[in-house]
Each structure stands twice: as structure tokens, then as C-alpha cells.
Amino acid sequence: KAKQQGRNAYEWYTHAFTDTVSERMVLRNDLQEAIEREEFELYYQPLLNRFGQLASVEALIRWHHPTKGWISPARFIPLAETTGQIMPISEWVLNRACLDMQTLIHQGSEPVRVAVNLSPLQFHRANFLATLRQTLLATGLAPELLSLELTEGVLMNNTQAAIDTLQALRDMRIGVSIDDFGTGFSSLSYLKDLPISTVKIDRSFIHEITHSRDDMAIVQGIISMAHHLGLNVVAEGVETEEQHRRLMDYQCDIFQGFGLAKPMPLNALKVFMASLAATHETTE
Ligand code: C2E
Ligand code: MG
Ligand code: MG
Ligand code: MG
């Protein structure tokens, strides 16, 4: 039996190994073409506040490959980060998100804040702030309608350069959230002195929140500490009503998840916003 297991493990290993290397090479080339041909699209996932009103939307990139169909950002973003291709992709995302929000406004929708995910590479670039200012200027989007999502890892070194950049963003009235909070082996204490506005609790803690006592304690702890530090709290990955209720009890501020709304194209977002606004007009 041991031999059998060992053999299977070996076969799995070689298969996964060759698959990874060749797949990555193919994907890298495909990605280059995707950048040139702009095969990307932005989807928007609504975030709702405690009253069920729209708090903001998160821009999430989608890649439609001409022959392979949809490829998940969880697969190509990490690759693009190692190859540097993340830079042109990120510029495209930022510009598209700002333009899309302007389109909504011009079509008569209420202005809504859009959150864009930042790559560490992008954040640490010397010309990052200049590019950002340029994009806002070119698209005409009000800076307070933009917020940026960073992961813990980006800020963990706590370098003066990173703090200066965050301060500059705050001065510009651009929001900053810590994404996937709790997965980066760090504590809230390092956030104490950073000019950020929001923490987003990673969905791995939300998933078991109604069953796992550990996760209940972790989530309650994060929320109460974040509130003491004056930060807003978003729960990611809210899929069930039970999870939503529990998070309401814990005084969570903002909710994001398939149970409330899935990521959707811009035109669907427009419809979603209109129907949400109509609901609130009739119930209030
Ligand atoms: P993220 O920033 O944490 O984004 C949230 C992810 O959780 C999205 O996956 C979203 O579709 C998914 N999600 C939302 N609600 C639920 C739920 O209730 N259940 C489950 N199971 N999942 C939920 P997505 O769009 O596949 O993106 C994956 C990651 O790829 C993002 O995680 C982000 O790190 C990265 N990413 C996506 N778009 C961009 C982008 O434009 N730029 C950069 N740098 N990274 C991006
Ligand atoms: Mg995010
Ligand atoms: Mg997240
Ligand atoms: Mg996450």
C-alpha cells in the first residue's frame, strides 16, 4: 500500500510539475497578447452597508482568452507579478475603473466609490503617485470616489516610503483598505500608525463563522480592535444569511459576498444600483 501511495504521489508530482512550468510559459505568452489586444474586462462587486445600501464597489479583472475561455485572476495575476506584466495590466485596470465610474455618473447613476486592487510592484514604484494623479486628471474622476486595496505584505516592512505614499493618498482623499486581512501573519498593532481607513477580513475567516468558535473569536477580535483604532471593517465572502446576521451582531460595518451580490459587468451594475435605490425609496 505504501508503494502504491508513493507511486501515485510521484506521478502526481511530475505531472503537476511539468504542467506548471509549461503552462506558465504558455500563459505568459498568452498574457502578452492579451495585454496588446486588451482581452480584459472589469467586473464590479457591490459592497453593502448595515442598512443594505450600496457602500462601494470593487473592481475585479476578468480575462477572456480567445480559445481557453475565462481565466481566473487568482491564476494570472500572481504570474503577471513575477513577470512584470502586472504593470501594463494595472494601468489598464485603474484607467478603466475610473472611466467606468464616470460613465455611470454621466448616465445618471448616483456616484459610487470604486475600489481597485493594487499590486505591490505598483505601490512601490517611484512614479506611482504621479501616474495616479495623471489618471484622475485625464478621466476627471473625483479622488474621493477612488479607493485602493493593498495586502498586508505590502505594508509589513513599514518603511518610511510606504508611510509617505499612504499619507499622500490620504491627503488626496483616496481611501486605502487592507485586503485579505488576517492571512499575512501580522497583527492590527502594525496598522496603528498607518494612515488607512478600512480592513477587509479575509473570507477564509467568514466561511466557518457560524460553526467554528475559533473563527468567531478571531472575527469579533478583529472588528472590535479595528473599531478602537477608528477603522471601518468589511467582511469578504459573505455567502449565507446566517453569516450576514452573525456579522451584523458583531457590529461589522460593510458586507461583500456572493450572498449579497456577485461581481458583474458595468451595465448589470447600473441595473443593480437602480433597483437597490428603488427598494430603499419604497421601504423608508
Ligand atoms: P480579492 O481582492 O480578495 O477579491 C475578492 C475575491 O473574492 C474575488 O475573486 C471575488 O469574486 C471573490 N468573492 C467575492 N465574494 C465571494 C464569496 O461570497 N465567496 C467566494 N468564494 N468568493 C467571493 P476574483 O475576482 O477571482 O479575484 C481574485 C483575486 O485576484 C482578488 O482577490 C485580487 O487579489 C486579485 N485581483 C482581481 N482583480 C485584480 C486587479 O484588477 N488587479 C490586481 N492587482 N489584482 C486583482
Ligand atoms: Mg480586493
Ligand atoms: Mg479581498
Ligand atoms: Mg480575499
Summarize pLDDT for 39-98 with one digit per residue, the tens. 999 999 999 999 999 999 999 999 999 999 999 999 999 999 999 999 999 999 999 999
- Which whole number is the average pLDDT over 141-152? 96
pLDDT digit string, tens, across residues 86-136: 999 999 999 999 999 999 999 999 999 999 999 999 999 999 999 999 999
At 158, is the secondary structure helix, strand, or coil? coil
Q: What is the pTM of this model?
A: 0.92
Nearest to 143 by CA among 187, 176, 118, 177: 176
Q: How confident is the model at residue 6 (pLDDT cuts 50, 70, 90)?
A: very low
Spell out which residues line ligand 1, taking CB within 6 angstroms. 45, 59-61, 72-74, 77, 90, 93, 117, 119, 149, 179-180, 203, 237-239, 256-258, 263
The question of ipTM being above 0.95 is answered as yes
Cα separation, 40 vs 168, in Å, equals 30
**8, pLDDT greater than 60:** no
Task: Determine the straight-line distance between the first and last CA of the chain, rounded to whole angstroms.
Answer: 66
- What residues are neighbours of ligand 3 (ion), with CB under 5 Å? 179-180, 236
**DSSP H or E run through 61:** strand 54-65
Kindly provide the b/e burial profile for residues 163-178, where b requires at least 16 CB atoms within 10 angstroms of the residue's own CB.
Answer: eebbeebeeeebbbbb
- Which whole number is the average pLDDT over 199-208? 95
Query: Residue 177 has what pLDDT?
Result: 96
| 8 Å CB contact between 274 and 66 | no
| Ligand 1 atom closest to residue 93's alpha carbon, by position in its atom list | 41
Share of the chain above pLDDT 90, in %: 78
Residue 226: Cβ-neighbour burial (10 angstroms; 0-12, 13-18, 19+): buried
Ligand nearest to the CA of 206: 1
**19, pLDDT greater than 60:** no
E-state strands within 66-154: 69-71, 114-117, 146-151
**15, pLDDT greater than 50:** no
Query: Residue 282 has what pLDDT?
Result: 64
**20, pLDDT greater than 90:** no
Query: Residue 13 has what pLDDT?
Result: 43
- Which whole number is the average pLDDT over 202-216? 94
Cα separation, 226 vs 208, in Å, equals 21
Helical segments of 126-262, H only: 128-139, 152-155, 160-171, 203-207, 213-228, 241-249
Query: Residue 94 has what pLDDT?
Result: 98
Cα separation, 181 vs 123, in Å, equals 18
**264, pLDDT greater than 90:** yes
Compute the mean pLDDT over every residue in the chain, rounded to the nearest whole number.
Answer: 90
